[in-house]
Amino acid sequence: MKPNDEESVEKWYNIVFINALTTLIDDLNANGEVCFYIGQDGKAYTENDNGNIVVSDFGEMPDISLWTHIIERLGDAGLFAEVQNENRIFISWA
């Protein structure tokens, strides 16, 4: 079920998102990456000279109007995160 308010985004973050995100960051960091993006479709990707490389799929994302709550939680977890171009979340740990 797609989160549709602050409370359901919090549950989604804790149950679905944060463990998968932590695993992805560990994998990317081990490969020398320092950031990635998550699109509205839930696909996480890195960018290089050849375009975008999908590295994970978080499934259906909350509505973009709720992304501020996700950004705040990521900041609490020690990550830099921001909404870019109103269609993706940028996440960095370096």
Kindly state whether residue 42 falls inside one of the protein's structural domains.
Answer: yes
Kindly state whether residue 13 falls inside one of the protein's structural domains.
Answer: yes
Q: Which domain holds residue 15?
A: 6-92
Kindly state whether residue 76 falls inside one of the protein's structural domains.
Answer: yes
- Give the count of domains, the chain: 1
Q: What is the pLDDT of residues 51-82, one digit of tens each?
A: 999 999 999 899 999 999 999 999 999 999 99
51: left (phi over 0), alpha (psi -120 to 50) or beta: left
Kindly state whether residue 1 falls inside one of the protein's structural domains.
Answer: no
Q: What is the pLDDT of residues 8-58, one digit of tens each?
A: 999 999 998 999 999 999 999 999 999 999 999 999 999 988 899 999 999
> What is the reported pTM?
0.92
Q: What pLDDT was estimated at residue 24?
A: 97
The set of residues, in sequence order, having a beta carbon less than 8 Å from that of 15 and lying 6+ positions away, is none
